[in-house]
C-alpha cells in the first residue's frame, strides 16, 4: 500500500513507483485506484476514486528511481476539515540536519488478514551529500534531483511498500519517498560498472560521452566528472544522457575547451544564457538536434544570440571559432544573421537542416574555406551569392540537394579556388552546368558527380581538363566506357565526399 499527500482539493502527490509498474518489456499503469482520506485506520475515513494518473516524464526506475514523482487527480473534491488538510509545497531547499516527519502504512496488520491496517509515524533527519555518500556508499544518487534521510531511532526501519508519502517539516513537504528496499542486483552491478568507468576519465583532456561505454551514466554522473576535470578538458562531446541543464556545469568548469559538441535529450534555451562567455579558446562548435521529440521547436538563433540587448558583444565571444556544425535544426533569418556574424569561421556544416520558407539564406563569411549543405532544400540564395560572400571557398559539399536549379548551380563556376566539390544527387546538374564548372574551376582535386544523370558522355569527356584531379566519383550508368576512353579510371569510393 502506498501513501501520498494532499496538495489541492483534487490532487494527491505520491511516487511514480506506486502507479507505474515496470516489467522487462512493458509497463503496467495502476488502475481502479482509491485514496483513503481523513483517517489513520483503513476501516475508517472516506475513499475517493482516482480520475487521472500522472507521473514525471523523466521517471527512471532503473537509475535508482530518478524523478520518482506521481500525481493523482480525484473524481471529486476533498472537503477539508481538521483531519484532512492540504500540505504546503516548498520554496526552498534547506533540509539538512532537520528533524522531519514521515507517515506511511506500516507493518502492523490485522488478525484476519495480512493487509496493512494502520497509518504509522516515523521521524527522520536529512543528510548532506557527503553524509549521504558515507551512509549509503553503494547507492549512486542523482543529487540534482534526489536526497536521502535516515531514521533517528536505530530500531526503526522503512520497508518495501513505504512509498509515496512526503517527508514533512513544519507542514511543508520537502521530499517524496521512494521504496526503501535493498538496491536490486541490477543497480548494484551498474554502480560497480560506473566505479570502473569514472575514475580514468578524471585524468583525460578529451571526453566523448557519446561513446557506448558511457551510456549507463546519468547527468549527475557527468556533472560530478566535469566538476573535477573540466578545467583540463580541451575537447568535450555531450550526448543524450544529459539535458541542457548541464550547461551551467560546463560554463563553470570547462572554460578551456577548444572543441565542444552536444546533442541533448531536452533543451531549454534559457540554459544557454551566457553559457559560452568564458570559452575564449573555443575553435569548434557542433550542435546536433537530439533524438527526442521536443514539445516546442528549438531555434538555433536563440542559442547563439544569448544576450538580445547586445548581439555584437555576445558573438564577440566566438572570435576564435573556426568550425561550426549544425545537424537537423531549423534555419531562419535570425539564425543566418547570427552565424554570419562569426567572421572567424573557416568551416561551416549544415547537415539535414531545414531552411524555413521566406528565409534569405545568404551567408556573409569572407574567411570561409569549407561549406557543407547536406540534403537540404531552399539553398538557392546561398549558392548564387557564394562567389560574392565567400570567394576563397575551397570545399563545397551540396550532396543530396536535389532541388537546386541549374541557373543557381552555374554560379559555382565563379568559385575559382575550389579544390573539392560534391554534387552527388543534385538533379539540377546537367551537361551545361558541368561544363561551366570544369572550364572555370581548374584547381579541383576531388569531385563527386554520382547520380547526376543529366550529364552526357560528351560533356563528361571534359573532365580531362582537370589536371589536378586526384579523386573522382562518377557513378553514372553507361558512362564507364567514356571514362576509360579518355584514360580516366573510375574510382569507386565507399561513400560520397561528405563532409568536406
Find the CATH number of the domain harbouring 171.
Answer: 2.40.10.120
Closest listed residue to residue 351, CA positions, set 292, 417, 422, 415? 422
Average pLDDT value for the chain: 77
Number of independent structural domains in the chain:
3
Highest mean pLDDT among 108-117, 300-309, 376-385: 376-385
The pLDDT-based confidence of 344 (bands split at 50, 70, 90) is: confident
Least confident piece of the model among 59-68, 87-96, 130-139, 319-328 = 87-96
Contact of 190 with 215, CB cutoff 8 Å: no
d(CA 423, CA 425): 6
- The answer to whether 345 and 370 have CB atoms below 8 angstroms apart is no
- Decide if 412 is inside a domain: yes
Q: Is residue 336 in some structural domain?
A: no
Same domain, 193 and 170: no
CA 1, CA 42: separation in Å to the nearest integer?
11
Residue 427 lies in a domain: yes
SS3 128: coil
Question: How far is residue 237's CA from residue 244's CA, in Å, rounded to a whole number?
Answer: 13
Q: Which residue has the higher pLDDT, 182 or 422?
A: 422
Please check whether residues 425 and 451 belong to one and the same domain. yes
Q: Check whether residue 192 and residue 307 sit in a common domain.
A: yes
131 and 199 co-located in one domain: no
pTM (two decimals): 0.55
- C-alpha 364: how far from its chain's center? 29
My answer on whether 194 and 152 are in the same domain is no
- Separation between Cα atoms, residue 135 and residue 324, nearest integer Å: 46
Domain boundary among 286, 319, 352: 319
- Reference 174, options 200, 141, 149; nearest CA is 149
The average pLDDT across 353-382 equals: 93
For residue 180, which of 65, 33, 62 has the smallest C-alpha distance? 65
Residue 315 and residue 414 share a domain:
no
Q: Which has more pLDDT, 169 or 313?
A: 169
Please give the pLDDT value at position 426.
95
| Of the candidates 230, 213, 141, 144, the residue with the CA atom closest to the CA atom of residue 178 | 141
Q: Is 75 exposed, middle or buried (0-12, 13-18, 19+ CB in 10 A)?
A: exposed
| Coil, helix or strand at residue 455 | coil
Write out the three cell numbers for 334: 535570425
340 in a structural domain: no
Domain shared by 238 and 97, yes or no: no
Boundaries of domain holding 19: 5-176
63 and 171 inside one domain: yes
User: Are residues 49 and 106 located together in one domain of the fold?
Assistant: yes
The per-residue pLDDT for 491 is: 46
Question: Domain of 386: which CATH number?
Answer: 3.80.10.10
Instruction: Using the predicted structure, report yes or no on whether residue 118 has a pLDDT greater than 90.
Output: no
Q: What average pLDDT does the segment 265-276 reach?
A: 80
| Residue 335 belongs to some domain of the structure | no
**Same domain as 27, residue 113:** yes
- Cis amide prior to 499 (ω within 30 degrees): yes
SS3 string, 352-407, reads CCEECCCCCCCCCCCCCCEEEEECCCCCHHHHHHHHHHCCCCCEEECCCCCCCCHH
Domain boundary, last residue among 150, 176, 202: 176
Q: Are the C-beta atoms of residues 426 and 406 closer than 8 Å to each other? A: no
Rounded CA gap, 121 and 152, in Å? 12
Q: How many C-beta neighbours within 10 Å does residue 489 have?
A: 9
Average pLDDT over residues 410-439: 94
pLDDT of residue 218: 81
Does residue 58 sit in the same domain as residue 133? Answer: yes
What CATH number did the domain enclosing 244 receive? 3.80.10
CA angle 113, 115, 118 (to 5 degrees): 115
Amino acid at each position: 500500500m502506498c501513501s501520498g499527500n494532499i496538495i489541492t482539493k483534487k490532487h494527491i502527490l505520491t511516487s511514480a513507483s506506486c502507479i507505474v509498474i515496470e516489467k522487462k518489456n512493458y509497463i503496467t499503469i495502476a488502475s481502479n485506484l482509491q485514496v483513503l482520506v481523513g483517517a489513520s485506520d483503513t476501516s475508517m475515513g472516506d475513499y475517493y476514486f482516482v480520475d487521472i494518473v500522472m507521473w514525471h516524464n523523466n521517471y527512471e526506475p532503473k537509475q535508482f528511481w530518478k524523478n520518482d514523482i506521481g500525481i493523482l487527480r480525484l473524481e471529486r473534491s476533498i472537503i477539508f476539515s481538521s483531519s484532512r488538510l492540504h500540505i504546503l509545497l516548498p520554496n526552498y531547499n534547506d533540509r539538512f540536519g532537520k528533524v522531519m516527519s514521515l507517515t506511511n502504512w506500516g507493518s502492523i496488520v490485522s488478525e484476519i488478514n495480512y493487509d496493512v491496517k494502520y497509518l504509522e509515524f516515523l521521524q527522520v533527519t536529512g543528510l548532506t551529500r557527503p553524509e549521504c555518500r558515507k551512509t549509503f556508499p553503494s547507492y549512486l544518487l542523482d543529487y540534482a534531483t534526489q536526497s536521502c534521510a535516515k531514521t533517528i531511532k536505530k530500531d526503526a526501519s522503512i520497508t518495501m511498500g513505504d512509498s509515496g508519502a512526503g517527508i514533512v517539516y513544519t507542514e511543508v513537504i520537502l521530499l517524496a519517498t521512494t521504496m526503501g528496499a535493498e538496491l536490486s542486483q541490477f543497480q548494484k552491478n551498474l554502480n560497480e560498472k560506473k566505479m570502473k568507468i569514472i575514475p580514468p576519465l578524471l585524468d583525460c583532456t578529451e571526453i566523448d560521452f557519446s561513446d557506448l561505454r558511457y551510456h549507463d551514466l546519468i547527468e549527475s554522473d557527468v556533472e560530478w566528472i566535469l566538476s573535477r576535470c573540466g578545467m583540463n578538458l580541451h575537447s568535450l562531446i555531450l550526448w543524450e544522457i544529459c539535458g541542457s541543464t548541464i550547461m551551467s556545469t560546463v560554463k563553470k568548469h570547462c572554460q578551456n575547451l577548444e572543441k565542444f559538441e552536444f546533442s541533448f535529450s531536452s533543451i531549454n534555451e534559457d540554459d544557454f544564457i551566457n553559457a559560452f562567455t568564458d570559452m575564449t579558446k573555443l575553435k569548434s562548435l557542433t550542435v546536433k538536434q537530439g533524438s527526442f521529440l521536443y514539445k516546442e521547436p528549438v531555434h538555433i538563433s536563440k542559442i547563439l544570440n544569448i544576450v538580445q540587448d547586445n548581439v555584437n558583444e555576445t558573438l564577440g565571444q566566438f572570435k576564435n571559432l573556426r568550425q561550426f556544425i549544425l545537424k537537423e535544426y531549423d534555419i531562419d533569418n535570425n539564425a543566418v544573421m547570427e552565424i554570419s556574424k562569426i567572421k572567424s569561421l573557416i568551416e561551416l556544416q549544415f547537415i539535414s537542416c531545414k531552411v524555413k520558407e521566406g528565409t534569405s539564406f545568404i551567408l556573409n563569411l569572407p574567411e570561409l574555406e569549407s561549406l557543407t549543405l547536406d540534403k537540404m532544400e531552399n539553398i538557392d540564395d546561398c549558392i548564387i551569392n557564394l562567389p560574392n560572400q565567400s570567394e576563397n571557398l575551397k570545399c563545397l559539399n551540396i550532396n543530396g540537394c536535389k532541388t537546386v536549379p541549374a541557373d543557381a548551380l552555374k554560379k559555382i563556376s565563379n568559385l575559382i579556388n575550389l579544390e573539392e566539390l560534391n554534387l552527388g544527387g543534385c538533379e539540377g546538374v546537367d551537361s551545361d552546368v558541368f561544363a561551366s564548372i570544369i572550364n572555370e574551376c581548374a584547381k579541383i582535386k576531388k569531385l563527386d558527380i554520382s547520380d547526376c544523370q543529366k550529364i552526357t558522355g560528351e560533356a563528361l569527356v571534359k573532365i580531362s581538363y582537370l589536371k589536378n584531379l586526384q579523386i573522382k566519383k562518377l557513378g553514372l550508368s553507361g558512362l564507364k566506357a567514356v571514362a576509360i576512353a579518355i584514360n580516366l579510371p573510375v574510382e569507386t569510393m565507399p561513400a560520397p565526399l561528405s563532409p568536406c
